[in-house]
Structure formats: structure tokens, C-alpha cells
Structure 1
Amino acid sequence: MSAGGEPASGEAATVAGDAATPAGDGPPPGKVRRPQAPRAVVAALVATVLLVLAGALLYDVIAVRAGYPTRRWRARAADELATRHLDYLWTLVGAGAAVLLGGMLLWLALAPGLGRWLPLRPHGDTGAAIDRAGIGHLLADRAAGLQGIDRLRIRISRRRVRVTLIGSADPVSVQRQLRDELARVTLARPLRLDVRAAPGAGPGPGAAG
């Protein structure tokens, strides 16, 4: 990514440099809940139902092994599964419902969630969040005004910002500038900033190697 271009949030930064330092010197943030996607509620409900069904089945199997008679519902279900034909109406309905449920769960698993959003410090009863890409744009704009940076790669996770420099700029000086910019974003949980020079990039004097 160029210094003023789009941040590559999924691009790995594999370099050596100075130690990571926390961004910002403000007061320690309180506990702020991360944004939850609606699919989290659906996943919790489905997991609860499956857990209850699996627990009931396991309990009945253990009871039979211990010498107790099989529960009526399990014996009836086994009998229905053994005697009903595949073209039976309720068999087709159950199969269709299972396919729909599986498709919904697959969609929930592949649909993008809210992991890219980072919560900000609340102001009163008002809460807000910022996209990781927005933070990457702020850092890229700040780095665009610095000398000695040919290219810049930024990767932002939930807890850390990794910046890879390609050019002659001193990573320590760049980290100081970007840390000030990152501190302006009032995140509920400040990110750790790690600025490093890419191998063979020819960092200037004083750069950590």
C-alpha cells in the first residue's frame, strides 16, 4: 500500500524493528462490550437447542446402559425412522426443514460479522464504534506527510496495529508520529502500535533492526 493509499488490513507484516508500544497515554478504559452481530443471537439459540437435544439423548443412552427402560420418545422415534418410507410426507417435510436450517447456519457462518468494528469510549449513554479501515486511513494520511516513506503496509487486528515501512524513514520516528495520530482515536481499548522496517528496505540511521 502506498503511504496515501488504501490500507491492506489483511496483508501480513513480516519485518524486524523496534518493540511494540501502546498507543495513547490516557486513562485506562472501562469495560465496553464489543458490537454483537444479530447472528450471534441466532447461533446461541441454535447451540442451546442442540445442546438440550444432545443432553437428553445422552441421558437416555446412559440410562439404558444402566438397566433402565428406553424412554418412550426415543423408542418411537427409532421406530418411525425404521418404518417410514422416504417418500412419506412428513419425512420430506423434515428433510426440507433440515436443509433450510443447514443453509441458514452456513449463511450465518460465512456472512461478515462485526469483528471489523472497534468500540470507542462511551460518552454518557452514547456508544459508538469505528471501522478498522477508518483507522488505517487515518494512519496512512498521517504517514503521507512524512519523509523517507516509499510504501506503507498496515495491518490492524483487534488489539494491535502493525505497520511495515518500505523506504529510508526511521521506524522509531514514524512510530512516534503514528502513535500520536492513533491516540486521537478514543478507542475503548487502545491498540498497540508496532512500526517496523521491511527487510532490505534500507532504513535510515537510528532505525531499530
Structure 2
Amino acid sequence: MSEAGPGFRVPRSPRTRAAALVAVVVLAAAAVLLYDAVSRWAGHRAGSWRSRVAHQLATRHLDTGWVLGCAALVGLFGLWLCVLALSSGGRRWLVLRQAPGTVIDRAGVAALLETRALQLPMVAAARVRVGRRRARVTIHGSADLERARVVLAAELARLQLLSEPALRVRGRPAKHRPPMS
């Protein structure tokens, strides 16, 4: 489905590197703990590091600089992960085919499709929602839906998206509003 040329890179969210870093750290810690647990289960002695950590946890006071520094470092790491979790990712962007690294906002694509739909005859209103895989257009009025589908598909093709969303056009009757007195 990807028609990317050589040297093409899809823009990544700032969360990607942080998620990879957390995954590597958690995987390494889990591997060390699993190795020690399996070796203990097989009848070997517990790792010396486990004895040292247990001894340090039992004897070290919580108000020492070393413990407070580690707690501050872990707290900053957690805050960084919270900021990344709440920041916007790359899901709102659609990648364009014309130049490496160029993107367009999904809301911008929706606005373009809505403007084009409103230019069609017999369209009273249009509602457009663009996702990463689908573009859903609801036309209010008595417009020809097949012609609207062709025109909107041409508009999507004109944008030259790397992976063009599937277009779905539905029709609804226009809402009748009585004249104001």
C-alpha cells in the first residue's frame, strides 16, 4: 500500500522514542528478574545483587541523599512520560506522497472535502469526518450521491496522500426549517 520512494521517512510522534526506551528498560529488568528467579528455582543461590539490594533496602534510611536523588530521578522520568502521554501524537497527520516528510492535518482534509461538497448543486449542508483509513461524508440535501462520490474522490486524489482513505458518501434529507415570522 505504501508508494514511498527511496529516502522516504514517515514523520514519527515524539512518543515513539520514549515508548521504545521504556520498553527496552522494562524488558531488560524483566529478563534479569526472570533469570534470577529461574536460577533460584533450579536450586542455585540467589544472585549477589539481590542480596545486596535486600540489605540496602533494609538498612538505608529514606532521608539520605542517595535515596532522595534516585526518587527525584524516577519522579522526573515519570513526569516526562506523563507529558508525552498527554501530548498530541502523529495520528492527526496524513502523509503526502509529493515530498518526503510532508504531512497534512486530517481536519484540513475534512475542511477541503466539506468545501468541495458544499459546491455541489442541491447540497444544503455537509458533515465530513476523516480518519486514517476512512473518510465519511454525510450530505444533507437531494444531491446526486454518485456524482458527489466521484467529485470527492477526485478531490482526495488531487491531495496525493500516501495512503488514501476509503471514501464513504451518505445522503440525508435536508432539514426543513420554517420561515421566521
Normalising by the residue count of structure 1, what TM-score does the alignment of the two structures yield?
Answer: 0.75
Relative contact order: is structure 1 or structure 2 higher (C-alpha 8 Å, sep ≥ 6)? 1
For each residue in 1:110-142, what CA deviation from the matched residue of structure 2 results, as whole angstroms up to 9, or x when unmatched? 11011111112245xx44222112211211221
More helix, by proportion: 2
Count of paired positions: 172
Q: Any runs of at least 4 consecutive aligned residues in structure 1 with deviations exceeding 4 A, and if so which?
A: none
**Selected match of 1:86 from 46, 51, 62:** 62
Q: Deviations over 1:40-64 (max 9, x none)?
A: 1122122111210111111101111
TM-score of the aligned structures, taking structure 2 as reference length: 0.85
Does residue 1:44 correspond to 2:31, yes or no? no
Q: Which residue of 2 aligns with 1:194?
A: 168
Quote the RMSD (CA, aligned, Å): 2.0
2:133 aligned with 1:159: yes
- Which of 77, 81, 102 aligns to 1:101? It is 77
Deviation of the 1:39 alpha carbon:
2.6
Aligned to 1:25: none
Q: Is the 8 A contact 1:34 1:118 kept in 2?
A: no
CA contact (8 A) 2:124 2:174 kept: no
Q: Percent sequence identity over matched residues?
A: 44
The answer for unaligned runs of 5 or more in structure 2 is: 176-181
Q: Distance in 1 between matches of 2:119 and 2:76?
A: 53
CA distance in 2, matches of 1:153, 1:82: 63
